[in-house]
Amino acid sequence: MEKVNLDNKTILVTGGAGFIGSNLIKRLIADTKGTTIVNIDNMNSYYDVSLKEYRLKELERVVPAGIKYFFVKGDIADKALIDKLFAEYQFDVVVNLAAQAGVRYSIENPDAYIMSNMMGFYNILEACRRSLDYARDDKGDSVISTNVEKSQPYRGVQHLVYASSSSVYGGNKKVPFSTDDRVDNPVSLYAATKKSNELFAHCYSKLYDIPTTGLRFFTVYGPAGRPDMAYFGFTNKLLKGETIKIFNYGNCRRDFTYVDDIVEGIVRVMQGAPERKKGEDGLPIPPYAIYNIGGGQPENLLDFVNILQEELVRAGVLPSDFDFEAHKELVPMQPGDVPTTYADATALERDFGFTPKITLREGLRKFAEWYKEYNNSLG
């Protein structure tokens, strides 16, 4: 493993107005020195854009002196824009979190997944490849960087970290899910695009010696999260007096992971790039890695709903006499869903000394308190 010091580096975070991306940037702003951070997001309307704007305002509010932060409204599927950004900023580290999310939406709108998750990721990989070519090219000074000053010769992208998903495990019966398991049977287009990302990354690592690390996230939740996720959607519906649908009659188990744990994992992984080595044939051994990031404590969906309702009452989002039973409906499994997700995160602990630690009750309490404050601010 090659150590990557993030201080004084130029870092690209794609999808930085999103849930995980905005929290990652906030952490990088707080913990790095002399860093230039570029955030690109297309601000699409998959869910309420005002929430993305809220996250961006939170970031602008915390940027200190000594950190350069730039937001670019744009799409990673726009190849010309991505090429322009890589030429102007000469990124050292790239974290690709931009993607069309959601299992169910992939059934309704597959085009969005092909453009963002496939073409967008391809554009990022190609730009990383060209960054290495540029760094090796004696004529590299023909590309003018107008936004950053490098204290040392540019080496190209030293590490590409990208978001995969626990969805790649599909209907695997063996639990916990290990990165050693075969993942050749996706049950949604979203899962197929994420598995394709891993294959693309492996290919580019092998052919062009690009250090890449994929992170399979397990059901990320927390304050200012995605409204299409169960905990957020349930809260919105309960507040309106609507009925929530609990799929598979409540017989689902999810390995929920609080967003701060996800960010801690990403930051540690960013600083440990897979080592570049040559094989016996003289060709690169792919500097490629995959890790699960999950709590390792799958929770029954009914237990999850009970904890959520308790914390919503505690935070004052819902009244203490709210009739939850009258607002719950048990329904069959939906297409694209799986009954269980369960992360084996031993490799992450072995290589980076980290295992997610925040319990579901702690995390839902923080969400409920944030929701109360955010909802009040909307009037």
Half-sphere exposure of 132 (CA within 13 A, CB side): 17
Beta bridge partners of 51: none
What is the β-pairing status of strands 220-221 and 212-217?
Answer: unpaired
Cβ atoms < 10 Å from Cβ of 374: 13
Q: Distance (Å, rounded) from C-alpha 252 to C-alpha 294?
A: 16
| Secondary structure (DSSP) of 159-214 | EEEEEEEGGGGTT--SSSB-TTS-----SSHHHHHHHHHHHHHHHHHHHH---EEE
Beta bridge partners of 290: 214
SS3 category, 82: helix
Contact present, 292 and 218 (Cβ < 8 Å): yes
Contact present, 53 and 259 (Cβ < 8 Å): no
The alpha-carbon radius of gyration of the chain (Å, integer) is 21
Integer angstrom CA distances of residue 79 from 13, 74, 179: 16, 10, 31
* Largest pairwise CA distance in the chain: 72
Q: Distance (Å, rounded) from C-alpha 274 to C-alpha 90?
A: 20
Nearest one of 4, 54, 64, 3 to 30, comparing CA atoms: 64
Beta bridge partners of 93: 11, 159
Beta bridge partners of 216: 164, 292
Catalytic residue among 134, 190, 258, 371: 190
Q: Distance (Å, rounded) from C-alpha 22 to C-alpha 39?
A: 9
Q: Is 190 a catalytic residue?
A: yes
Alpha helices in 284-339 (DSSP H): 301-314
Nearest one of 109, 327, 102, 315 to 229, comparing CA atoms: 102
Q: Distance (Å, rounded) from C-alpha 33 to C-alpha 7?
A: 5
SS3 category, 314: helix
Active site members: 190
